[in-house]
Amino acid sequence: MDRREFLKHSTAALAGTSVLLSACGKKKPSAVSNQHSEPEGSMTLRVNPNTGDKVSLLGFGMMRLPVVAGGTARENPDSPIDQEAVNAMVDHALAHGVNLFDTSPLYCQGNSENSLGIALARHPRNTYYISTKMSNFDPATWSLAESQAMFERSLQRLQTDYVDYLLLHGIGMSGGGLNAWETFQKRYIENGLLDWLIEQKRKGRIRNLGFSYHGDQKVFDQLLQWHDEGNVHWDTVLIELNYVDWNYADEINSRNTDAAYLYEELKKRTIPVFVMEPLLGGRLAHQPHAIVRQMQHLNPNLSPAAWAFRFAGTPDGVLSVLSGMTYLEHLKENIATYSPLRPLEDKDWSFLMRLADEICAMKAIPCTACNYCMPCPYGLNIPQIFNYYNACIAEGLLPDMTAHGDAEFLRKRRAFLVGYDRTVPGMRQADHCIGCRRCMPHCPQRIKIPQEMQKIDRLVENLKQL
């Protein structure tokens, strides 16, 4: 066989192999994973009745951005935001039809807007919508001048001269020792800020004006009454909506309001709804084994997160579901879930309502790890402690004190205590809570943080002394 003949034969052989290989690809044993691959269709869009904007059902929340040291600022609070990763995710989101980006001057220790601005400035301004917030929680920012400066700073950091959505942040929460209504008055009415914002909307610097809502139902009802009376027009309202909060928000915490009520009131007035916490701070994505098995039994291809997103997207008054995503994999999965959305059927809806019963009965602490309570002046890592406790509940690893002595209990006791020390450094654990209550007004979930800390510490102490 001379050289030329050899080449001819080997090329033919190679071609044959590649044909064989490609044939393999089409048949079953596949070497290529199809998990979170390119979405089947295109992103579901919903129309904003006020402006005619076509908004993607998935909105990218910029509250849980990745940091250079790995994870989010929750795990590595001193590490800067990983801008490369943010750019990559924003690019991927835009390329797959996600066109709404939601941030706040407070997120990621105040660095979120800046990071989003950098990522978005690389794309034409008319290809996306920006939503940010008037986050004047701190009494030091209650004056008109300070609040105005906050808004101007937002525009500057976002590298734009208008925002598409501006939300009054955390309405219904109380601050500075006042109740929720008084706080609202101080933040937006007495200083003339709301009027100023309405003026900015007339000037086109704000395209839609709305509010994000946590907690006190009286304030919510009052604001909607103003809307009915024509005093102010709310273009959108951001509410917490997921299958647990739909009917159980007030069972979990009597000072919260069921999502079903909030949604119906907004729908009646055709105010488009933004959804936050579709996964309850990730808790609905990491579910106990027993619950995951029920979901898999019904549909082996849907993850717990996909179930939760389908739930949040199903009500047609929902304009966009905002999800704070840290990892590209989560973004891809969520895009796939909404490309397009397959709305829940009635039987699926009632299945999730049944699961909500079970989840509620587990008595987890309703922390969504938003980190608004942080930093605790006495050094505790509040969300990390709650997160660890909840994870143990969800996995059925919480030792049952009534069964103490048996082998199973001893195993769980050891695992719980060792895990606690590994997860939360000693000087940031629950036993250091002095009960100063400074954290409480910052918690959108209205958790009685000092009481929960005492409860966890008592458990730890009892376990240690056995």
Partner 1 sequence: MAQTKIKVDGGLAVLEDKIAPHRETPVTPPGSVSAYNMNRHCTACQLCVSACPNNVLRPSTDPLRLMQPEMSFERGFCRPECTHCSHVCPTGAIQPISSEQKTAIHIGHAVWLEPNCIPVVNGDSCGLCAKQCPTWAIAMEDREYNGRIVSVPVVDTERCIGCGKCEHLCPARPFSAIIVEGNVMHQIN
Give contact residues for partner 1 (rule: CB under 8 A). Answer: 63, 73-74, 77, 105-110, 137-138, 140-141, 146, 149, 153, 370-372, 374-379, 381, 426-428, 431-438, 442, 454, 464-466
Least Cβ distance, residue 202 to partner 1 (angstroms) = 27
Closest separation in Å from C-beta 75 to partner 1: 11
Task: Specify the residue, 230 or 377, whose C-beta has the smaller distance to partner 1.
Answer: 377
Residue 131 or 381: the one with the smaller Cβ distance to partner 1 is 381
CB of 413 to partner 1, least distance (A): 13
Between 140 and 361, name the residue whose CB sits nearer to partner 1.
140
**Minimum distance between the CB of residue 34 and partner 1, rounded to whole angstroms?**
37
Give whichever of 64 and 283 is closer to partner 1, judged by the CB atom.
64
Q: Provide the minimum distance between the beta carbon of 83 and partner 1 in the complex, in angstroms, as a whole number.
A: 15
User: Which CB, 129 or 137, lies closer to partner 1?
Assistant: 137
Is the preceding peptide bond at 366 cis, omega within 30 degrees of 0? no
Closest separation between CB of residue 272 and partner 1, Å?
26
CB closer to partner 1 out of 105 and 172: 105
| Smaller CB separation from partner 1, 102 or 333 | 102
DSSP alpha helix (H) spans, 58-140: 83-95, 107-110, 112-120
CB of residue 454 vs partner 1: minimum separation in angstroms?
A: 7
Is residue 93 a contact partner of residue 320, using CB atoms and an 8 Å limit? no
The distance of closest approach from Cβ of residue 236 to partner 1 in the complex, given in angstroms and rounded to an integer, is: 22
Q: Which is nearer to partner 1, 150 or 306 (CB)?
A: 150
Look at residues 121, 132, 68, 133 and name the one whose alpha carbon lies nearest to residue 94. Answer: 121
Within its chain, how far is the Cα of 240 from the centroid?
Answer: 9
Beta-strand relationship, 100-102 and 58-61: parallel
Token pair 């909307």: residue: 201
As a whole number of angstroms, the distance between CA 428 and CA 424 comes to 6
- 122-143 CB burial, b ≥16 within 10 A, e <16: eeeeeebbbbbbbbbbeeebbe
Distance from C-alpha of 355 to C-alpha of 114, rounded to nearest angstrom: 39
Contacts of 285 (CB under 8 A, 6+ apart): 279, 303, 304, 305, 308
Nearest Cα to 108, choosing from 97, 119, 98? 119
Q: Which string of b and e fits 259-289 if b means at least 16 CB within 10 Å?
A: bebbbebbeeeebbbbbbbbbbbbbbbebbe
Q: What are phi and psi of 381, to 5 degrees?
A: -100, 85
